[in-house]
Amino acid sequence: MYPCDAEHARRWHGACASDAELRDLSAAAEIAFCVASGAQRLTFVFREGRYAGGEGVEAPAFTLVADATDWARFFRPVPPPAYQNFFGMRMRVGSARVEGSELAMAQHAHLVRRVLEIGRETLGGTCIEPDPPRRSKTHLRAGYVEIGIDGQPVDVFYESAGTGPDVLLLHTAGADGRQYQDLMSDTQLTQRCRLTAFDLPGHGRSDPWPGVAPGAYALTTERYAQTILAVMDALKLQRPVVSGSSMGGEICLEMAYRAAARLSGVIACEASDHVPGRATPWARHPRINQSLFVPEWVDGLMAPQSPIACRKKVWWGYSQGGYATFAGDIDFYTGDWDGRDRVAAIDTRACPVVMMTGEYDYSCTPAMSQATADKIPGAVFWSMPCLGHFPMTENPSRFAVHFNRALDLLGV
C-alpha cells in the first residue's frame, strides 16, 4: 500500500495505540476514517474517546486519498514543500482529496494530523530540530496606548524590547503580538533596534473593535492601514521599519505604497500581491470547534523541521482566538487585499522593500512572493530554507539570521 506495507501498517496501528498525544486529542471521539491510494486503504477507528485500531467498520466517515507517489513524498522524513501536511496536499497536490464527509474531516482534523504524523514517524523518521533553549520574557516592556477608530477610543496592547531605530512588528491572521516574544529576546536584535509588537483590536489583549458584533468582524485594507498609522502615532515611532508575516506581510506592501514618507522600509514576509484560496467555511461553522480546527488549519503551514515546542506555541496561540477572529482576518488576507494594480507603483527609493518567504509556505509560496517582488522596482526577495508561514515563531533562531540580513539591507 503506497509506501506502507503490511509491516508498516502493523507498526503504525501499534504506535497510534500507544501515543500519548493522540490519546489526549481523542477525547469523546467516535469516528473512523481511511487513508487510501487507489483500491488500497488503511482504516483508523476511534470509539468512546479512545483509539480502537483498524477493524470493525464497514463505512468510514471520510477517506484521505492521494496517488501512491504523492503519499510516498508525504511519508519522507524530509517531505517536499506542501507535502508536510494533508491540508497542504489538498491545496497544492492534484491527486489529494477527501472522499466522504468534509464536515467530519474538519471536525476531526486534529486526529487526522496526529495519525499521519505517526505514520511518517514509524515509516521513515522525522527531520524535527531540537527544541531551543528557553528564552526569558522578563525584559519585555508592555503597556497600552489609546487610539481612535471610527471616532471611538480603543486601548491597544503592545510589547517592546531593545534600543535604537524603531521596528514595528505585525502579527498574522487570528493571532497576536506574542508571536514575536522569542524574536524580541534575541540580544543581537535588541542591541541594534527597538522592536515593538502590538495586538490588533479584537486580538490578544487589545480591546475589541468598536461597534462590531461577535461574528460580524471582517478586516479591510483601509481599516488595517489606518490602525497601523494610529499605533505609530500613539507610540511616537519615528519612521519605523514595519515588518509582518502573512496578512502582516501583505499590509507591509500597502504601507510602502501609501505611507512611504512615514517609514524607513518594510520587511514583508509570506506576502504576495494576491493570495487566493485560503478562505474556509469551517473557521466560523457552528458545528466546528474553532479552537481545534483553526490551529490545525494553520499547523501544516509550518516547516517539518520546526521544533516541536515552537510549533506548539503557534498551535496554542491559535486555539485562543476570539470567535471568527481568524475568519475575519482571512477576509482581508485572501479577499479584500488585492495589490495587483498598485505594487508596481511602490517607490523603493522612498521606502525600500525586502520580501522573504519560507520554502514550506504552501499558502503564499516563494514563487508567489518572487513574482510580486519582480513587479516592484528595486525590491529584494529571497526564500528562507527550512521555514514556513510563521518563521518568527516556529523557528526564531533561523528566522533571526534572515531578519538581521534584511535590517542590514535597510541600513538599520
pLDDT score, position 123: 87
Summarised one tens digit per residue, pLDDT across range 242-262 is 999 999 999 999 999 999 999
pLDDT score, position 56: 79
Alpha helices in 1-108 (DSSP H): 6-18, 20-25, 68-74, 86-92, 102-107
- Once rounded to an integer, what is the mean pLDDT over residues 277-288? 95
What would the grid cell of residue 389 be?
A: 508561514
pLDDT score, position 355: 98
At residue 5 the predicted structure's pLDDT band, cuts being 50, 70 and 90, is: confident
Is the pLDDT confidence value at 142 over 90?
yes
- Once rounded to an integer, what is the mean pLDDT over residues 136-152? 95
Is the pLDDT confidence value at 88 over 70?
yes
What would the grid cell of residue 189 be?
A: 536584535
pLDDT score, position 2: 60
Burial of 1-40, coded b for 16+ CB within 10 Å and e otherwise, reads: bbbbeeebbebbbebbeebeebeebbeebebbbbbbbeee
Summarised one tens digit per residue, pLDDT across range 303-361 is 999 999 999 999 999 999 999 999 999 999 999 999 999 999 999 999 999 999 999 99
- Once rounded to an integer, what is the mean pLDDT over residues 282-297? 96
Q: How much is the mean pLDDT over the chain?
A: 96
CB 250 within 8 A of CB 268: yes
Whether the model clears a pTM of 0.85, i.e. scores above it, the answer is: yes
Query: DSSP character for 215?
Result: T
pLDDT score, position 3: 60
Summarised one tens digit per residue, pLDDT across range 10-37 is 999 999 999 999 999 999 999 999 999 9
Distance CA 196, CA 162 (A): 9
Is the pLDDT confidence value at 146 over 90?
yes
Is the pLDDT confidence value at 50 over 80?
yes
CB 326 within 8 A of CB 291: no
> Of 377, 370, 384, whose CA–CA distance to 352 is shortest?
377
- Once rounded to an integer, what is the mean pLDDT over residues 102-131? 96
E runs forming strands in 125-190: 141-149, 152-161, 166-170
Lowest mean pLDDT among 48-62, 76-90, 197-211, 368-382: 48-62
Summarised one tens digit per residue, pLDDT across range 352-389 is 999 999 999 999 999 999 999 999 999 999 999 999 99
pLDDT score, position 267: 99
pLDDT score, position 4: 74
Q: What are phi and psi of 122, to 5 degrees?
A: -80, -25
